[in-house]
Amino acid sequence: MAAPTTAPTSTDFWADARRHLVRYGGEFTPEIISGAAGSFVHTEDGRRILDFTSGQMSAILGHSHPEIVDTVRRQIGSLDHLFSGMLSRPVVDLARRLAGTLPAPLEKALLLTTGAESNEAAIRMAKLVTGKHEVVSFARSWHGMTQAAANATYSAGRKGYGPSSPGNFAIPAPNTYRPDFTHPDGTLDWRRQLDFGFDLVDAQSVGSLAACLVEPILSSGGLLEPPPGYFAALLEKCRERGMLLILDEAQTGLCRTGTWYAFERDGVVPDILTLSKTLGAGLPLAAVVTSAEIEQEAHDRGFLFFTTHVSDPLVAAVGNTVLDVLERDRLDERALHLGGVLRRGLEGIAERHHVVGDIRGRGLLVGIELVVDRDTKGSSDELGAAVTRRCLELGLHMNIVQLPGMGGVFRIAPPLTATEAELGLGLEILDQAIGESTA
């Protein structure tokens, strides 16, 4: 059937969307997006909406960055896709350059498409290399919707799909704002919490612990940042049990937190690192990076992870351009500076609005938690939804954690290329939206 010669009306558009689209999580934003540039998305009816989520927390260089556009146009005209066993220069260049941004012994890369896929490959590699099958993750984790990644995801999506794979265990996520294990002064006793978590793991394990897969900053879990020292202690727990430590830096990697990788703060080096979202700056590119020793052992044991788009040259070329811009424009330093500007603005909002209970995160990955009472820390999904709606009406797209009981936690992740004026505009809109939603 021939395509229509004119675009359907907005009424027809939404009717078609309701009739033909599978809903895959929550409701769709009630705007028809026609374009995007820099820190803004544009609607079909002429509105500009400031994007405080970098698309799906991915477009770290903003939308339609001119150098990314040029790379795509150039590369797609010469070499876009290959048989999975063929190699091209952009792929080898990106693998070499990624290794150059990382500490030893991380030097071997597998280039894939999505975060879920990279975590799938990392878990598969860890199981093969260790000869074991059990995986430990945080109780508020999000690692993806494919099988192994979904089995290690606990923040949502576990009910209604039948049994998960055996050998998946959750440990408590360290939450300094809502501590479960406390010191006498009420602060989080994360060492006792971590010991407790692994005591439970040890009690349930059949002696086949393969890996621990965690995010350096839990994003969907409520922008939770484990305290300094936590990951060194976690790595020690892994070493004691012969487990590999896999860090999922889908959202934290490549300068967003003010350093190239979030794990740098803690002085640890994971056995396997997974990257996605930020690596392609909005295009589908992901990577698994590990040591030569682990890669050799996996290869010797017959590691298999063929996918349709493994080592595709088009997105690899984009990844190289992303690294060019990050290095040349020193966007790690920029994220650190802008993160300070953003935090100071949020602290000002907290002084004016007592519903702001907590501000947390690092660099340009920041969370704020709205509460109905600062003393009891009582949360309100309704308040978070109301502020989100009002922000959108005023021209700011905010992302709220859409999980029961966590609807007051906003995830703020503007592009690293955002200007101070754009951050100021977003803060002004958020300030107004909170005030009007609580009046």
Compute φ and ψ for 67, nearest 5 degrees: -75, -30
Check whether residue 298 and residue 434 sit in a common domain.
no
**Active-site entry in 51, 117, 134, 215:** 215
List 127, 237, 390, 411, catalytic entry: 411
The answer to whether 369 is a known catalytic residue is: no
Q: Is residue 205 part of a domain?
A: yes
Q: Among 277, 301, 328, identify where a domain stops.
A: 328
pLDDT digits (tens, 9 = 90+) for 344-395: 999 999 999 999 999 999 999 999 999 999 999 998 888 999 999 999 999 9
Distance CA 381, CA 372 (A): 10
> Containing domain of residue 239, as a range?
69-328
Question: Which residue is catalytic, options 108, 140, 241, 277?
Answer: 277
Tell me whether residue 251 is one of the annotated catalytic residues.
yes
Same domain assignment for residues 233 and 252: yes
Q: How many CA atoms lie within 13 A of 417 on its CB side?
A: 24
Do 86 and 104 share a domain, yes or no? yes
Based on the residue annotation, tell me whether 142 is a catalytic residue of this protein: yes
Using the Cα atoms of residue 213, residue 216, residue 222 and residue 226 in order, give the sign of their dihedral: positive
Tell me the whole-structure pTM to 2 decimals: 0.96
pLDDT band at 408 (very low <50, low <70, confident <90, very high): confident
CA 205 to chain centre: 29
Confidence (pLDDT) at 297: 98
Last residue of a domain, one of 328, 344, 370: 328
- Residue 69's pLDDT is 98
Exactly one of 248, 249, 369, 422 is catalytic; which is it? Answer: 248
| Percentage of residues of the chain with pLDDT beyond 90 | 93
Output the pLDDT for position 3: 60
What is the per-residue pLDDT across 261-302, written as a single tens digit (0 to 9) for each? 999 999 999 999 999 999 999 999 999 999 999 999 999 999
Read off the pLDDT of residues 242-255 as tens digits, 9 standing for 90 and up.
Answer: 999 999 999 999 99
Active-site choice (142, 249, 312, 390): 142
Q: Is residue 231 part of a domain?
A: yes
Share of the chain above pLDDT 70, in %: 97
Sign (positive or negative) of CA dihedral 425, 405, 59, 264 = positive
Over the stretch 47-71, which tens digit does the pLDDT of each residue have? Answer: 999 999 999 999 999 999 999 999 9
Choosing from 75, 117, 251, 295, the catalytic residue is 251
